Amino acid sequence: MRNQKQSSTDPKSPRSIDPHRDKAWRRVKRSGETHETARLEPHSAIDQSIEYLPPKALQPAARNARTHSRKQRRKLARLIKKYGFIGAIIADESNVILSGHLRHAVALELELERVPVIRISHLSDEAKRIYAIAANRLALDAGWDRETLALELGELAILIEDTEIDLEDTGFEIAELDNLRLDHSPPPDRAAEDVLPKVGEAVSKHGELWLLNKHRLLVGDARQSPDFDKLFCGTAATLIFADPPYNVSIGKHARRQSGHREFLVASGEMRDDEFANFLKTTLCNAARELKEGGVAYVCIDWRHMSVLEAAGLTAFGEMKNVCVWVKPNAGMGTFYRSQHELVLIFKKGSAPHLNTFELGQHGRSRTNVWHYAGVTSFKRGRREELMMHPTVKPTALIADVILDCSKPGDVVLDPFVGSGTTIVAAEKVGRRAYVMELDPTYADVSIRRWQAYTGRDAVLESTGETFEELAERRSLSSGCQPKKGRSDD
């Protein structure tokens, strides 16, 4: 570069020694321009036309120092198949690639007939090698405005729902997309996530389908296959989180003064064979709505682990792991007080399942031992809130499960939604919850809880009425004063 200030006629200039060694210089000299002009306006010597050549006609550079992983190849192949070959390969007059080796390799793999090529013929051999390195290196200096990126991706996630476009087409991993969303969302109010609203007379009725923005709640029976048809309407779930009743009487094992409601079914009244059939029937119904390779997380206590394992293997086909939720405090009991619950994980079919945490690659290290605050560990008055549902799970627990094996916008099925924790968790992490609840009172809890968390109104699918409008109409028709639907918290 120290020779740039010298005149092209300077006897010390390399150009005056051998001006014919540079093709670009010879071309510029023939046109009557000076070397200085060519250096200041290099675009005047570039032919910007695009040619279309067979990929096999192009030759990779002898010393291409840039490496590409199989994952990167798969990402680009997916992008090209969905959007076309956008972005030309840069090659010289001998068809040697200067920039675009990955695109060329993928074009060969996809057996494309022709690819766009921009021909570069104004550079010396040395300059071509410099450019080939710079074309790869300069991109590494770029960064991201993460807040702007999170806004863009968040808006796109809404716009592309129910289309074939996927946020993964951007090249970001699912965990990266989730991290962006969560990092730039309002700080979570942990207490608000797990608040259960006060409930009076049931508003919902069996068979009613509620629309909670992108979520769907059916007051239905998980033992009935037609109820799943009504809930899904042809959509498929990517993940199941199910917390079925354990066939244990609430009154027997919980403090009677707490006022816990018994479940409508499987609350201690079933024989062992009846409970086994209950789990098998409900899980088989749920499995029919799950995609191949989809993962099901099913909660159970130690008493019924073997029963659930048998039912889960029948419904899904493979057990992947058993996770243990370790609670901060022990429950009631005489021979060893129980301080854990079990979550059995099953996979449907032989297709590979989704794994977004990948041994902590993206900052989420997950094991099969989970530590989350239990029901006795939250704020004062928590036991009074749990009168609304005796086995509520922490929102953070379900949110992490959803993040583990689903993508933004995916459908998560919960056939025993109870107090609605799965709905709140799905709302928090950008998934769609399709849920079912047999007890209209618990369905109301779920609806009111989601309304309090989001500030939105649930709508009855059949009439378009909001939950509050229906509550008022049914209260008036029964001659009762309408109850307040929102929590006082």
Instruction: Please report, for residues 72, 206, 433, 483, the alpha-carbon distance to residue 437 in angstroms, rounded to integers and kept in the order given.
Output: 43, 9, 13, 21
Specify the range with the lowest mean pLDDT, choosing from 111-125, 148-162, 309-323, 402-416. Answer: 148-162
Q: Determine the pLDDT at residue 307.
A: 96
What's 59's DSSP letter?
Answer: B
In the structure, what pLDDT confidence band is assigned to residue 263 with cuts at 50, 70 and 90?
low
In the structure, what pLDDT confidence band is assigned to residue 194 with cuts at 50, 70 and 90?
low
Once rounded to an integer, what is the mean pLDDT over residues 127-145? Answer: 93
Burial class (CB in 10 A: 0-12, 13-18, 19+), 337: exposed
Spatial separation of the C-alpha atoms in residues 395 and 191, rounded to whole Å = 10
Burial class (CB in 10 A: 0-12, 13-18, 19+), 239: buried
Greater model confidence, 391 or 285: 285
Q: Determine the pLDDT at residue 250.
A: 62
Pick the most confident of 172-176, 183-187, 362-366, 416-420: 416-420
Q: Determine the pLDDT at residue 429.
A: 92
Can you name the residues that pair with 119 across neighbouring β-strands? 91
* Residue whose token pair is 């009991």: 333
In the structure, what pLDDT confidence band is assigned to residue 10 with cuts at 50, 70 and 90?
very low
Spatial separation of the C-alpha atoms in residues 245 and 266, rounded to whole Å = 6
Q: Determine the pLDDT at residue 265.
A: 65
Q: Determine the pLDDT at residue 454.
A: 93
Q: Determine the pLDDT at residue 188.
A: 58
In the structure, what pLDDT confidence band is assigned to residue 59 with cuts at 50, 70 and 90?
very high
Specify the range with the lowest mean pLDDT, choosing from 91-105, 415-429, 464-478. Answer: 464-478
Task: Tell me what percent of the residues of the chain surpass a pLDDT of 90.
Answer: 59
Each residue's pLDDT tens digit, 323-370: 999 998 887 777 888 899 999 999 999 999 988 877 556 667 899 999
- Half-sphere CA count of 145, side-chain side, radius 13 A: 4
Q: Determine the pLDDT at residue 46.
A: 60
Can you name the residues that pair with 466 across neighbouring β-strands? 459
Each residue's pLDDT tens digit, 88-109: 999 999 999 999 999 999 999 9
Greater model confidence, 51 or 38: 51
Spatial separation of the C-alpha atoms in residues 209 and 233, rounded to whole Å = 12
Once rounded to an integer, what is the mean pLDDT over residues 183-205? Answer: 71
Q: Determine the pLDDT at residue 24.
A: 44
Q: Determine the pLDDT at residue 1.
A: 43
Spatial separation of the C-alpha atoms in residues 125 and 127, rounded to whole Å = 5
Say if residue 440's pLDDT is above 70.
yes
Q: Determine the pLDDT at residue 475.
A: 80
Pick the most confident of 231-235, 315-319, 378-382: 315-319
Say if residue 458's pLDDT is above 60.
yes
Pick the most confident of 3-7, 371-375, 455-459: 455-459
Average pLDDT over the chain reads 82
Question: What's the distance, CA 392 to chain centroid?
Answer: 24
Spell out the SS3 assignment of 248-314. Answer: CCHHHHCCHHHCCCCCCCCCCCCCHHHHHHHHHHHHHHHHHCEEEEEEEEEEECHHHHHHHHHHHHH
In the structure, what pLDDT confidence band is assigned to residue 284 with cuts at 50, 70 and 90?
very high
In the structure, what pLDDT confidence band is assigned to residue 20 with cuts at 50, 70 and 90?
very low
Q: Determine the pLDDT at residue 426.
A: 97
Count of helices and strands (H, E) across the chain: 18, 14
Q: Determine the pLDDT at residue 25.
A: 42
Domains of the chain by range and CATH? 46-141 (3.90.1530.10), 197-320+340-355+380-477 (3.40.50.150)
Q: Where are the alpha helices (DSSP H) in 22-162?
A: 23-30, 35-40, 70-83, 101-109, 125-137, 146-159
SS3 185: coil
Q: Determine the pLDDT at residue 193.
A: 67
Say if residue 154's pLDDT is above 90.
no
Sign (positive or negative) of CA dihedral 186, 192, 194, 197: negative
Is 461:447 a contact under the CB 8 Å cutoff? no
* Residue whose token pair is 């296959």: 225
Once rounded to an integer, what is the mean pLDDT over residues 268-281? Answer: 88
Angle between helices 305-316 and 272-288 (to 10 degrees): 30
Contacts of residue 114, Cβ cutoff 8 Å, sequence gap at least 6:
52, 53, 54, 55
In the structure, what pLDDT confidence band is assigned to residue 295 with cuts at 50, 70 and 90?
very high
Say if residue 9's pLDDT is above 50.
no
In the structure, what pLDDT confidence band is assigned to residue 479 with cuts at 50, 70 and 90?
low
